[in-house]
Structure 1
Amino acid sequence: MGVTTLLVVVIVLAIAFDYINGFHDAANSIATIVSTKVLTPFMAVLWAALFNFVAYFVFTDHKVANTIAKTVIEQFITLEVIFAGLVAAISWNLFTWYYGIPSSSSHTLIGGFAGSGMAYAVFQGINPIEAINLSATLKIVSFIIFAPLMGMIISIIITLIIINICKKARPAVAERWFKILQLVSSAGLSFAHGGNDAQKVMGIIATALIAQGVIGTFEQMPEWVPLACYAAIAAGTMSGGWKIVKTMGTKITKVTPLEGVSAETAGAITLGITEHFGIPVSTTHTITGSIIGVGVVKRVSAVRWGVTISLLWAWILTIPVSALLGGLTLAVIHYIL
């Protein structure tokens, strides 16, 4: 396969991953709004997709994309490394989607890219750890804990504030208002999801263009890259991810419109904060923590902790499994080519 052809294949695969990310993570934005019956599933994915794409016009600093691009040290990045990382990420994403596991598309991509980069270092006779930008990687890994924790704490605070403000309101009137507010909060979460997650693929495509010498620096990334990435994630969201919607919307805890507003607002705030600091976090982890938070406010037993622990295992395994798949894919490429 020629170098130019491989570059095109890598770009197509990256955009395909972004599309898969959209339907895999659609549940993050629409699970609570569907479970509370504020919108039908079809209208919910259209609503989420719209705000996924609107983020293109606002998130123009591309800090998250820049962090992703620096995960692997530049001298260990080749088109083959990026290709292997994308194959690994797509494989794990499809596997977890098929079984309805809300794993992190972000960490899948990071793990696959890092694993293939480390494998490349091994084939060059170099310590694989030297291929990884440890400061960037450790920051990303630490937010496997911090992102859901932030989401949970913020959702608890928002829920308690709302309960105290509305304690004298008639339940029927309050519920009607919270159903309207949930349209706003889910739009905010979809907006933040698009702004955070589309950038991750932008970072990968920019890295491929730099590796091939098409551009010299990340700042020279052509405008079609963010446009294609935001369009792909919005199109993927419109395809939905119904198995994961069921897990997120009903299996963790039963969610009311009030709690939906709290969880979605907390998720959007957390994603906004992390995007501001250029930290690629998992939207899945964030909204899961937020949903747990609103459940805990009712009572600790309202959260189905057995389901939550299963999700935690999926989160822990995502980066190492994706890294292993990335390394194995690069090994196959290395020995075949």
Structure 2
Amino acid sequence: MFDLFSGLDAWVAISLVLALAFVLTYEFINGFHDTANAVATVIYTKAMPPHLAVMFSGLFNFLGVLLGGVGVAYAIVHLLPVELLMNVNTGHGLAMVFSLLSAAIIWNLGTWYFGIPASSSHTLIGSILGVGLANALITGIPLGEGINWKKAIDIGLSLVISPTAGFVLAALLLLALKRLLPLSKMHKTPETRREIDGKKHPPFWNRLVLVLSAMGVSFVHGSNDGQKGIGLIMLVLIGIVPAKFVLDLDSTTYQIERTRDATIHMRQFYQNNATTLADYLALGKANNVDLPKKFSCDPKTTEQTIAALLLALDGIKDYRDVAPDARSQVRRYLLCLDDTAKKVGKLPQMSSRDKKDLDNLRKDLTATTEYAPFWVILAVALALGVGTMIGWKRVVLTVGEKIGKQGMTYAQGMSAQIVAAAAIGVANIFSLPVSTTHVLSSGVAGTMVANRSGLQGGTVRNILLAWVFTLPVSMGLSALLFWLATKLLA
């Protein structure tokens, strides 16, 4: 890890330390901001003592980050357009990262202070979109190209659908439990359990399910939200010390050959589909492989890009043998080819089989660019895990007592947590960032409606207002900060 500081100017090293500290601070705040939702039901229902619940939740968040992969991390990164990702330099990269993280941290702390279950995921995505749009305005490119809108729409849909699904499915699960086990003690609140049965804790099986589902929510939260921090750190490292991180320098010879083979097969794929793709990719019209060092990713230069990449990788068995400037160029070629392949896959004339072939080629193509060193994963896991153990009380009170007009029953807590763990787990499989906060609080609201407990209008209004305003506020704040930062650097 520490060798990344070797050879850096003092101001660059200080900037790098500050940028990494900002990302880890964001994840730390995410821990006590979002993970309070994971332990809210298990603490409120007295299934676990608070100190034990947050300790185990922190542990499962830690494990979730370690075992979660990097799919969601790069889904977040690729919200930014490929042109910006290809040409991030030190000053620009610092301005981008500090702006979006500052905006996210400010909003997260504000909503946490008032005990509002707002979404860190929502905040981060809004901050990234704000930076992308501000960059488009500053550089004079069309706003439509300032953001990867297809990825933004996919993520936006996941953020809208997941809480809706949480509301409906948690309500249905509670209704099923009430129908199948109408006389069960699981339908009591902690207060009625203590008054009628004289017992402090839930019945054994209900307690076990509450604990397991809470740890499940913690684990999938870590594997989903933790990856966002991983993606941000990789943006920092690629922007500030590109020579060491634009490519995975620990890639094996096999992985490099796999990348080269994917490039060759991609060229063959385009040639085999020349009838439908010739005009879109300008196939057969390339006369040389010379591309400018800071080139624009145009599908019509695909043949030149493929040829240039194969030339750059010719005979390479270890990325350390590639000159630092050439590594950045290889990454640009790979990002450009991946972006073009995504666009080709969306063309209406492409069959489902062709799209599947392209997706497989893209996975091999990006195997050595979409990665994260173990120390990055470990640092994010620690920040999220430790943050989980601090500052949880405000949101626990809101989720347990202030969403519904009556206290939460054990069955309601079980239903909301089981649905939240399942929904976030499915999102992880498809590399979609979702909001633990929104899914779980919506699940609790759904069970309150299904239980005919009614909802507290003030709390629900605050949660909805936070949900509505998070995106525009974080976008506007990050855009403003990015604009100011670029003016200072000019």
State the TM-score, normalized to the length of structure 2.
0.65
Does residue 271 in structure 1 map to residue 424 in structure 2? yes
1:230 and 2:381 matched: yes
Kept in 2: contact 1:266–1:290 (CA 8 A): yes
Instruction: Give the equivalent residue in structure 2 for 1:53.
Output: 62
* 2:89 is the counterpart of 1:75: no
Q: Do the aligned partners of 2:167 and 2:442 also contact (CA within 8 Å) in 1?
A: yes
Asked if residue 216 in structure 1 is aligned to residue 241 in structure 2, the reply is no
Q: What is the 5 A alignment of 1:92-111?
A: 92-111=107-126
Instruction: Kindly provide the CA deviation profile for residues 23-80 of structure 1, in whole angstroms up to 9, marking residues without a partner as x.
Output: 11122111111211222222221121111112134323x2111100101114335221
SS of equivalent residue, structure 2 residue 98: helix
Whose radius of gyration is greater, 1 or 2?
Answer: 2
Deviation at 1:246, TM superposition (A): 1.3
SS, match of residue 370 in structure 2: helix
Amino acid at match of 2:488: I
Asked if structure 1 preserves the Cα contact closer than 8 Å seen for 2:66 and 2:378, the reply is no
How far off is 1:221 after superposition?
A: 2.1
Supply the AA of the counterpart residue of 1:84.
S
Corresponding position of 1:160:
175
How far does residue 166 in structure 1 lie from its aligned partner after superposition? 2.4
How far apart, in 2, do the equivalents of 1:39 and 1:153 lie?
27
Aligned to 2:313: none
CA distance in 1, matches of 2:476, 2:387: 26
Number of the residue aligned with 1:30: 39
1:260 lines up with 2:395 in the alignment: no
Contact map agreement 2:65 2:227 (CA 8 A) in 1: no
What per-residue deviation string (whole Å, max 9, x for no partner) do you get for residues 229-259 of structure 1? 1111110001132212211111012211121
- Secondary structure, aligned partner of 2:245: coil
Alignment of 1:159-178 (within 5 A): 159-167=174-182, 169=184, 175-178=203-206
Q: 1:193 aligns with which of 221, 224, 232?
A: 221
Q: How many percent of aligned residue pairs carry the same amino acid?
A: 36
- How is 1:98-137 mapped onto 2 (pairs within 5 angstroms)? 98-137=113-152
* Contact 1:97/1:241 (8 A) holds in 2: no
Q: Is the 8 A contact 2:60 2:222 kept in 1?
A: yes
Deviation at 1:205, TM superposition (A): 1.2
Query: Could you say which residue in structure 2 is the equivalent of 1:323?
Result: 475
Deviates more, 1:215-224 or 1:6-15: 215-224
CA contact (8 A) 2:66 2:377 kept: no
State how many pairs are aligned: 335
Distance change (3 Å), C-alpha of 1:124 and 1:3: farther
The separation in 2 between residues aligned to 1:14 and 1:83, in whole angstroms, is: 9
- Is the 8 Å Cα contact of residues 88 and 326 (structure 1) preserved in structure 2? yes
Which is worse superposed, 327-336 or 212-221? Answer: 212-221
Q: Which moved more, 1:221-230 or 1:166-175?
A: 166-175
Q: Look up the match of 2:161.
A: 146
Which residue pairs with 2:19 in the alignment? 10
Deviates more, 1:206-215 or 1:265-274: 206-215
In the aligned structure 2, how far is the partner of 1:181 from the partner of 1:142?
30
Question: 1:101-139 CA distances to partner (integer Å, 9 max, x unpaired)?
Answer: 111101111111221232222222223442211011112
The answer for the alignment partner of 1:21 in structure 2 is 30
Are the equivalent residues in 2 in contact too, given 1:45–1:240 (CA < 8 A)? Answer: no
Q: Distance in 2 between matches of 1:223 and 1:170?
A: 46
Q: Secondary structure at the match of 2:80?
A: coil
Letter of the aligned partner of 1:211 in structure 2?
Answer: G
Instruction: Using the TM superposition, give the Cα deviation of residue 168 of structure 1 relative to its aligned residue in structure 2, in angstroms.
Output: 5.2
Q: Is the counterpart of residue 247 in structure 1 residue 398 in structure 2?
A: yes
Give unmatched runs, 5+ long, in structure 2: 1-9, 187-196, 248-368
Whole-Å Cα distance in 2 between the matches of residues 273 and 220 of structure 1?
21
Shift of 1:169: 4.5
Q: Which amino acid aligns with 1:11?
A: L
Distance in 2 of aligned mates of 1:40 and 1:329: 42
- Corresponding residue of 1:84: 99
Residue 451 of structure 2, aligned match among 295, 298, 314? 298
Distance 1:194 1:251 in 2: 26
Is contact 1:154-1:266 (8 Å) kept? Answer: yes
For 1:36 and 1:16, the matched residues in 2 are separated by 30
* Other structure's SS at 1:239 match: coil
The equivalent residue for 1:286 is 439
CA distance in 2, matches of 1:310, 1:39: 28
RMSD: 2.0
CA contact (8 A) 1:198 1:233 kept: yes
